[in-house]
Structure 1
C-alpha cells in the first residue's frame, strides 16, 4: 500500500489529534481509587463518543461488577478477517506527586515527548488505534478489515471482571485475532513484536513450631527453630546453579526452537552493560541458557520475601515459633499454574523438617501465552513495522505476565498480536510517565499498513 497518503493525512491532522489526546489524558481515570469512579465513567464516555464519531456501530458502555467496558464494531468488510482491538483506559495512581516535573493530568510536550499519566500505558496507544481507523475511513472510504473494539477500565487493578465479561460475550467478541498495543519496542527506533508472555503463580509458606517463642538458653538445641526449618525448605527448591529441584517442575516446559534461539542471539543483547547498570559482578541463572532465554522462555521459582523472629535493634535470644516466605513462579508454555502449585506442595511436604507444621496459601495466578513467531499475523506485523521504521523487527518474549492475554487465548481461542509502541524508559507506573511522539507518529502509519496487509491474509 502507499504509505505516503497516510503520512500526509497524519501530518495534516497532527495538532488536532494531539489536542484530542490531551483531552483524554486530562481525565484522571485511576481505577484503584474509589474517589475517581466518576472519572472512570467520564473516560468511558469519552471513548464512546470517539467511536460514535468514527461511525462505528453498536457502540456501548457495558457495565460490569466493577468498571465498565467500552465496545464498538464495524463489520462490513465481507470475506475479510475480523480483528478484535483490546486496550485499557484506566491508569495508575500518580504518587509520589512531588517527583513529577509536570502535572500528571495536564499533558505537556517537552522535547517531543508527551508527559502525562497514561501517555504510554495505555491511553496513548489505544488512542492510536482509533486514529488509524479514522485515517482508513478518510482515505479509503471504508475499512480493509472488520473491527471490534473492547476497551476496559480495570487492567491496572487486575482485570477482575473482564474474564466473566469475555465468557458471557463470546459470540459478540468472536474474531480472527486480537490486536493489543500495550507492550514495548526493543529500543529507540527498534520495533519489536512480543509473541509470548510468561505466566505467574504464587504462594505463601507459613511454618509453625512451638506454641510460642522460646528462650534459646532453656530450649535451644532441644526444640525445632521455625526459621531454621523454613530455611531448610527454601534451600531445597534450587541447586547452586539455579536449577529448580521440585520433582516434575520442568516436565511440561515447551523447549525453545532453534529458530527462536537464533532470533534471540541475533538481538546481540549486551550482558556486560546490564551488569554495569545493575551494579552486580555476575549474572546468575539456569546453566545452558543466555540471559534473554532465561528471562523470556524459562520458568523460575523466586523467593520474594521472608519473615519471622526478631529483627529490631540489638539481639533477642529466642527460638522463633513462626516463620514464613512468599514465593512466585514465572511459567512458560505449556506449564499449568495449578499443577505447579501441587508439585511445590508435594515438595514442601517431603522436605519439611521434624518438629514443625507447614501451611501453604495459594495466590492468584495466570497462564503463559505463546503465538508461534512464524505465524502469518506476526510476520505481517513485522513487515509493517519495517516499512515505517526502516529497521529489522525484533521478535521478543515478555518475561512478565499480562494475565488477560492468556484469558483471551483460553476463552476465544484465537491468536493475539502484541504490537507495542512504548519504550521501557517511559516511566509507566512511575512519576513523569511520557510517550515519545516519534513512536506516536510512526505507530499510526504502522497500524494503518498492518490492517491493510492483514486484509490479504487467509486466516
Structure 2
C-alpha cells in the first residue's frame, strides 16, 4: 500500500465517528468535512443532505459529457462513514482509532466496516484521474452515497434519499460496499440479507432494591423474570424460536434467529451485595428472513411477552430498529460483469451467497429505484467487525482498489 493511501486511511480512522454515541456528533461532522475535501480533490461535485441534527448524507457525482452513440451507465456506490463503539477498549492490541499495521494486517476501528471501503473507492477513482484526463478515460458516470447512520439502523436514510432523489435517479446499478468475502482467494457477491427487529425491555418489580434475606422467596426478582422469559422465547438446544406463528412465512433453510445482546440490573461489582434488584433491563433482537415482516413480528413478540410475564409485573417494551429482509435477482449484466472482474483478480469464480447480516439502506434503495444491487466488499471473516482488533488484510485492501477501478471502467460492450 502506498504512503498516500495509508495516510488517507489513517487520518480517516482517527476520526471517532461513532453514530451510537451522541457525544461524538462533532466527530461525525468532522468525518463529513474530511470526505468532502477528499472527494472535491478528485473533481466530483459534492452535496450533503440532512434532517435536523442527524449525521449528514453525502452524495457526490461525476457525469461525463453526453456523446451521441455512447450509452454511458451511471454506477452508484454506497458505503457508510459511521463506526461501532470501540468497547471493550482493554481487549484491543493497539489504540482503536490509531491505524496500526502488523503481520500484513491493518488494525483500527472502521478499517473493515466501513471506512476502508470508502477509501478504496476514492483511491480507485484517484488512480483513474491520475492515469489520464478523467473525462477522456472514464467510461461511466459515478455517484457516491456515503451514509452516517448505518450502525444505528439507517432511520433517516429514506427521508434523506428522497431529498437527494434528483441526484440519484439516473443510477443504473448500486454497488453496496458493506460486505466481505469467505477467503482471500474466494470472491463473493451476496443476493440476500436478513431483516432485523430490535427490542429493549425494562422490568420493575419493586420501588427499590430489597434485602434478599428478608424478602427472598417473597418478592419477584426482575433478572430471574427476564431469564425465564427468554427461555420461553427460544429453545437453547434446538435454537428454535417458540413464539406461536413466528415461522408461518418461513420458506427457506436459512433460519431466522433470536439473540440477547445484554442484560443489566442488580449488583455485579466487587464482593457481594445481597439484594433483590428493583429493576432489570435487556436488549435483544430477531434476525428475519425473506417474507417475514418486521411489523408483524413486532406484534407477535409484544403479545407473547405480555402473555408470558407474571401478572401484575410492570414493564416497558420498545423497538430499537426495524429492517426488512432483502433478496434480489443476480441474473443481470452487472453481476455477470463483476463476476468476470473478480475471477480475473482473485483467480477463482465468484461465489453467490445469502448473508446473515442486515443493511437498512439496501431495502430503501431497492424500493425507491428498482435497479440492480450488487452486495460485495473486501473484508474477510477474521476482520473482527464490531469487535476489538478490527482489521483488514493489506493485500485484500489493494485488490479492492483494483477491483473498483475496473468496475468504474467497464465499457458499454461489457455491460
| DSSP 3-state at the match of 1:119 | coil
Pick the aligned partner of 2:175 from 162, 165, 179. 179
Pick the aligned partner of 1:168 from 136, 157, 163. 163
- Equivalent runs, 1:319-398 vs 2, <5 Å: 326-349=283-306, 351=308, 360-398=317-355
**2:35 maps to 1:47:** yes
> Which residue pairs with 1:192 in the alignment?
188
Aligned counterparts of 2:21 and 2:267: Cα–Cα separation in 1 = 35
Cα deviation, residue 40, structure 1: 3.7
> Which residue pairs with 2:248 in the alignment?
251
| DSSP 3-state at the match of 2:323 | coil
- Which range is displaced more, 148-157 or 352-361? 352-361
Cα deviation, residue 342, structure 1: 1.0
CA contact (8 A) 2:49 2:163 kept: no
> Which residue pairs with 1:153 in the alignment?
148
> Which residue pairs with 2:110 in the alignment?
118
**CA 1:231/1:51 → structure 2, altered by over 3 Å: closer, same or farther?**
closer
User: Which has more radius of gyration?
Assistant: 1
- Equivalent runs, 1:393-432 vs 2, <5 Å: 393-432=350-389
Aligned counterparts of 2:11 and 2:292: Cα–Cα separation in 1 = 43
Measured against aligned partners, the alpha-carbon deviations of 1:138-175 in whole angstroms (never above 9, x if no partner) come to 35733222211122334344444333211222232222
Cα deviation, residue 426, structure 1: 2.6
Measured against aligned partners, the alpha-carbon deviations of 1:333-352 in whole angstroms (never above 9, x if no partner) come to 12111111112233445556
CA contact (8 A) 2:49 2:160 kept: no
CA contact (8 A) 1:377 1:454 kept: no
**CA 1:348/1:26 → structure 2, altered by over 3 Å: closer, same or farther?**
closer
- The aligned length equals 402
Cα deviation, residue 324, structure 1: 7.0
Cα deviation, residue 315, structure 1: 6.8
| DSSP 3-state at the match of 1:425 | helix
Pick the aligned partner of 1:242 from 239, 255, 261. 239
CA contact (8 A) 1:380 1:454 kept: no
> Which residue pairs with 1:75 in the alignment?
63
Structure 1 regions of 5+ residues with no counterpart?
1-10, 257-292
Aligned counterparts of 1:249 and 1:384: Cα–Cα separation in 2 = 41
> Which residue pairs with 1:202 in the alignment?
198
| DSSP 3-state at the match of 1:301 | strand
CA contact (8 A) 1:214 1:321 kept: no
**CA 1:61/1:348 → structure 2, altered by over 3 Å: closer, same or farther?**
closer
Aligned counterparts of 1:413 and 1:456: Cα–Cα separation in 2 = 23
Question: What is the TM-score when the length of structure 1 is the normalising length?
Answer: 0.72
CA contact (8 A) 1:86 1:179 kept: yes
Measured against aligned partners, the alpha-carbon deviations of 1:350-384 in whole angstroms (never above 9, x if no partner) come to 55666667654333222122223444433432222
- Which range is displaced more, 421-430 or 100-109? 100-109
Aligned counterparts of 1:38 and 1:324: Cα–Cα separation in 2 = 29
Pick the aligned partner of 1:143 from 127, 138, 143. 138
**CA 1:214/1:96 → structure 2, altered by over 3 Å: closer, same or farther?**
closer
Aligned counterparts of 1:41 and 1:350: Cα–Cα separation in 2 = 45
Cα deviation, residue 229, structure 1: 7.0
Alignment RMSD (CA, Å): 3.9
Measured against aligned partners, the alpha-carbon deviations of 1:65-115 in whole angstroms (never above 9, x if no partner) come to 223333211222653332221222334454555655545555343333333
Aligned counterparts of 2:288 and 2:49: Cα–Cα separation in 1 = 33
Aligned counterparts of 2:350 and 2:222: Cα–Cα separation in 1 = 52
Structure 2 regions of 5+ residues with no counterpart?
none
CA contact (8 A) 1:133 1:143 kept: no
Aligned counterparts of 1:399 and 1:386: Cα–Cα separation in 2 = 24
**CA 1:208/1:38 → structure 2, altered by over 3 Å: closer, same or farther?**
closer
| DSSP 3-state at the match of 2:167 | coil
- Which range is displaced more, 194-203 or 371-380? 371-380
> Which residue pairs with 1:261 in the alignment?
none
CA contact (8 A) 1:232 1:353 kept: no
